[in-house]
Structure 1
C-alpha cells in the first residue's frame, strides 16, 4: 500500500491526551500494530551488518495486514527468495535507472532512519516497512533529524507479499515518470540482499487514513474534490501523456498520498503494467490487485486496460462521497459491497443524498455532489466501453472543488435531515411506520396525516434545490 501510514503514525505517545493542534493521540498500540514483521526484518538487517550478508531465506507464509485483500497473492509471481538474493551485478543488467535517481548505500539509509528504529516507522504494506529518514538536500549522506531533506525509506520485506520483480517495476516506472500527481522517487539501494526505495516524504499520509481512521476529522467537501481531481490527473497522465501508456492496476485510497497542501500523488507502482500497443485494446495478465477495487471484467478474464483503472477510480470516488470502505463486512447485510449498495442511488438526483457521508453534515455542494455521483456511476459502468477516459474525468472534476451551493441551505436537504432525524427517533422508541400508520408492537397508534397536516416526504413531494446564492467559480 505504498507508505500509506506516514505522518499519522510518527511519535505516538502511550497516554491519551490532546495536542496543541487539537487532534487526539491514539496511543503506542497503533505503532506496535505495524511492527510485527518489521521487527523481524529489522533483526535480519542488523545481522547483515555483522557479516551475514548473502544469506538466502525461505519465504514463509504471512497474513495480509492491510484491510485490503489482494485478488491474487502478489508473492506468487515473485519467484523464490534465491532469485531475490542473487548477486548485484545480475540485477544491474535488469535495472533501467533514470539519471536523476540517487544511488544510496545501505549504511547511509540505516543511519538516515536512525538505525530503522521503531520511532521512525511510518507504516507497512505488502512490500515491507517504511521509515522516516533525513538525507542531504542534494546528496545521499545521512543528516541530523529535522535537517536536510525528509524522505520515506521503503524496505523490501523478504517475507512479504511482493518481491524483487515489483521492486524493479517501481524503480523503472517512477524513475522515468515525472508528474506533480505522482510521488517522487528520490533514489534506491540495491546491495546484497537489500532492496530499498527512497521517496519524497508526504506529511499528510494516505487518503485512506483521512477517510477511515477512527478519530480522524472528516475531510471537508472542497478538499475531497481537490484530492479526487489530483488523483484523476495522475491517472490521466499515465494513460494519455506518458511516453508509453501505463495501467496503474492498483488504484485505491491507501495508494493516494497527500502533501502538506492536500495535493494527491499516486504511490506504489509495483503492479503497474505498460498498456497495449497498436490496435490492441488490452493486455492479458494474471489477475492482481485488491478486492473491491478491481474491475469485474479484469477479475473474470484477466484482460487489463486503462478502463480498469477508471473503474477503480469510480470506487475510490464513491468512498470519498459516502465515507464507506469498498468492502466492509461490519455493515448490515446488503451493504457489504459499497458499489452494489450505492449503485441504485447514483442516478437519482434526490435519493443519492441519502448515501453521502453523514459526517459532512450538509457542508457540500448540491450541484457538485450530483455531478460527482453521476461521474462515479459512469466510471462504475459494467461495460468498460461506456466508462469515460480519465482526461474526461479530469474535465468533469475541475469546477467541483469551488462550487458554493451548500446543501445545508437547501430546502430539500433540510427536509431530508428532518425526516431522517424523525426516523431515528422512532427507531429508538420502538416505533416504525407501516402503510401510512405509526405502529408500535404491531398496533396502529395514529395516522401520519395528523392535525398538523401531511408530513413532508421527499419521495412524495420532491422540491428542487434552490439556485446557489453564492456565485459559482
Structure 2
C-alpha cells in the first residue's frame, strides 16, 4: 500500500477505536441542565427547550392573584454564570449577538399572556412588584439599583405603557416603555400564531446600533424588522446575566424557547485604543453562526476569565454529533481500506480548492490579493457607491470579478451592502440569468464578494458609449437581453423560496457573458420577504433616478411592481439606446410616451440599428416597456406576465392614448401605517443616515 495512504488510514482507525471504546457524551452536552441554566418561577425544561410559563386550567380574575412570581405567571431562565459586558480599565463595552427560537401557545379559553423577552440584567432576583409586564426587573417600576436591557415579544396591548398594539416587538431599557417598537405582523410574522419563530438580535457598540430580525424560517432575513440607535454601554455593568423572562398577567399562554445562542465580542484590553478595534466596524455577516463556538458551560470554560466570547446552545446537539461522527468515520475508514492507490490521485497542498460554478467558498485575503495583483488599479473594471470591482485570476485559471466593499460605507450605513448582498446570494441563487456568487472573504477589515467574470461587461457600456469604434448590440442581442432580465426577475419575484425585490434594476447592473446572455447582478439593495408576507417595510428609497417608480420614491415601500417599473425603463433604454435621463434633462419615459401619443412610437428606435430589426417585435417591446412604467402600479404587469408578452405568448395590454398623470396613493395596508409614526426603522438617528437617491416631489 502506498505510503500516502498509510497516515489517513491509521488516523481514522485511531479515532474509530477511540470512539468505539469511549464513554457516550455527557448529559450536559445533549440537553440543558440545572448546571448551566437557572430557572425561576414556573419555568421548566421541556423536550430540548425551556418552557417559561404554564397554561392555566382556568383564567382567574387578575385581582385574585398574589404578587409572588410563581403565582402571577412570571417565569425566567438565565445562563447560570455572569457574562462580562464592560471593562472598566479600558472603558470599553461589549457588542453582542443572539439567536433563539420561540413559540407562544395560547389557552383558547383565556386571553393571551403578556409575552416573553430576551433579557440582559445585572440582578436576576429583581422582579416587577406587580403582576405581569413580562416579568421585567424592578427598574421598570422606579428602582435604579439594577439595570436591564430587554427585547420584548409583546402579545398584550396596554396603552398605558405606550404599546402600539398587542402583537409587537419592542426594545426596553430600564423601563417597560419601549424606546423603539414595531408591529410584528407588518414584518411578516404573527407572534400569536403558535408557530415557531426565530429571532436574531445584534448590538454594535461602535455605532451604538441594535437590530432585530424575525422570521418563521431559520435563515436570517436580509432586512432587520427593527433598528434603533441606542447607547447600551451606559446601562451595562461589568457583569450581567443573560436569559429570558415571560409572564401571563391577566391571560394564559405557554412560552417556549429553544435553539438559543448568545455571543459577546469587541471588548478591548486596557492597552488597545478604540481606533485599533477594526472588527467593530464590520458588518454582521462576518460573524455568522458558523464561526461561533458552542460552549456547554464546562468548568474549564468558566475559568477562562480573559475570554470575550460566551456562547450557549440548546438542543439535541451532542448525541446527534456523536452518532453522525461515528457513521462518517466508519464510512471514510472503509473507503480508504477498499480503494487502492491506482483508483485515486494524490492531492497536494498546491491543488486549487476553489472551483467555479460550485457552492460559494470562503477564500483567504492572501488568495484574493494574489488574484488581483494586490488590488491593482489596472485591475479595476467597475466602481460604485459602495464598492469597487476588480478582475482577478485564481490559481485554478478561472477568471473572477472581485467586489471590494468600501470601508466607510459599512460603518456609516446601518444597512451594510455587503451584508445584504451576501445574505441574498449565499443561499445559492441558481438561475442562468443571475450573476453567480463564487466565494467571499471577510478577513481583518476587508469585505469581499467573488463573482463569475462577465467578459462583455455591463449592458450600459454597449448602449451609451460615445466612441465611434464602440460596438453596439444587434436587435437579436437586445431582444435576448430583455428576455433574460425578465426571466431573472420573474424567478426572484415568484419562483424563489423567498421573494426577492431587487430595488436596483438598471442597465449597469445587467452583465453580459461571452455570448451576450444577460445576467442580473448587484443585490446590495435587495429586500427579501417570505411569500406569505403581505406587507412591506418602509425603507430609505434607494436606487438611481430615472429608474425609480414614483410611489416608491414617495413612500419608500419596495414592491415587485417597483421592480417592474425599473425593468420597463431598461426595456425602453435597450430599444431606444437613450439614457433614462439624458444630459439635457429629458426623461426617457416621458419622451417615449410623447411619441406614443403622436402615433410615432416606432420612431423612438435606436438609429444605430439602421432599420435592421423585426418591426412587430420591436413595437411589442416598446409597448411592454410603456405598460411597465405606468403610473398606477396595479396596471403594471407582473414580471412573469411581461415575459410571456415579450415572447408573443400573451397579447399586449391596451395602453391609454395619453400618458396617465401621476397620482400617489398609499401602498401600505391599514395595519402597517403605524410604521410611519411609531418606531420601526424610523429610530433616533435614522434621519442622519445617507439618503441614497435624490429626494423628489410629486403633485
Query: TM-score range with shorter-chain normalisation?
Result: 0.5 to 0.7
In 2, the alpha carbon distance for the partners of 1:218 and 1:382 equals 31
Is 2:602 the partner of 1:353? yes
Q: Classify the secondary structure of the residue corresponding to 1:209.
A: helix
In 2, the alpha carbon distance for the partners of 1:339 and 1:194 equals 40
Paired residue for 1:239, among 463, 488, 493? 493
In 1, the alpha carbon distance for the partners of 2:462 and 2:519 equals 15
In 1, the alpha carbon distance for the partners of 2:436 and 2:228 equals 24
Q: Classify the secondary structure of the residue corresponding to 2:280.
A: coil
The structure carrying a bigger helix percent of its residues is 1
Paired residue for 1:196, among 448, 462, 467? 448
Alpha-carbon displacement from aligned partner over 1:198-227 (angstroms, at most 9, x marks no partner): 110000000010000122222111110100
Aligned to 1:339: 589
Contact 2:407 2:445 in 1 (8 A): no
Q: Classify the secondary structure of the residue corresponding to 2:419.
A: helix
Q: Classify the secondary structure of the residue corresponding to 2:426.
A: helix
In 2, the alpha carbon distance for the partners of 1:130 and 1:396 equals 35
Instruction: Give how far 1:278 is off.
Output: 3.1
Is 2:644 the partner of 1:395? yes
Q: How large is the RMSD of aligned CA atoms in angstroms?
A: 3.1
In 1, the alpha carbon distance for the partners of 2:289 and 2:447 equals 12
Paired residue for 1:127, among 386, 395, 401? 386
Paired residue for 1:154, among 368, 386, 403? 403
Is 2:442 the partner of 1:248? no
Aligned to 1:453: none
Aligned to 2:567: 313
In 2, the alpha carbon distance for the partners of 1:279 and 1:89 equals 26
In 2, the alpha carbon distance for the partners of 1:339 and 1:95 equals 46
Paired residue for 2:434, among 182, 187, 194? 182
Instruction: Give how far 1:398 is off.
Output: 2.6
Name structure 2 gaps, 5 residues minimum: 1-205, 208-226, 230-273, 292-357, 650-699
Paired residue for 2:420, among 165, 169, 172? 169
Contact 2:394 2:400 in 1 (8 A): yes
Q: Classify the secondary structure of the residue corresponding to 1:232.
A: helix
Alpha-carbon displacement from aligned partner over 1:109-137 (angstroms, at most 9, x marks no partner): 10111122222221211122211111144
Instruction: Give how far 1:85 is off.
Output: 3.8
Q: TM-score, normalised by structure 1?
A: 0.61
In 1, the alpha carbon distance for the partners of 2:454 and 2:484 equals 15
In 2, the alpha carbon distance for the partners of 1:78 and 1:155 equals 28
Query: For this pair of structures, how many residues does the alignment match?
Result: 311
Name structure 1 gaps, 5 residues minimum: 1-56, 59-76, 138-147, 401-473
Aligned to 1:86: 280
- Pairs within 5 Å for 1:65-464: 85-86=279-280, 91-94=285-288, 100-137=359-396, 148-159=397-408, 165-176=416-427, 177-215=429-467, 216-275=470-529, 277-278=531-532, 280=534, 282-328=536-582, 330-331=583-584, 336-346=586-596, 350-398=599-647
The structure carrying a bigger strand percent of its residues is 2
Aligned to 1:61: none
Counterparts in 2 of 1:275 and 1:294: CA distance versus 1, 3 Å: farther
In 2, the alpha carbon distance for the partners of 1:132 and 1:166 equals 20
Larger mean Cα displacement after TM superposition, 274-283 or 230-239: 274-283
Contact 1:311 1:380 in 2 (8 A): yes
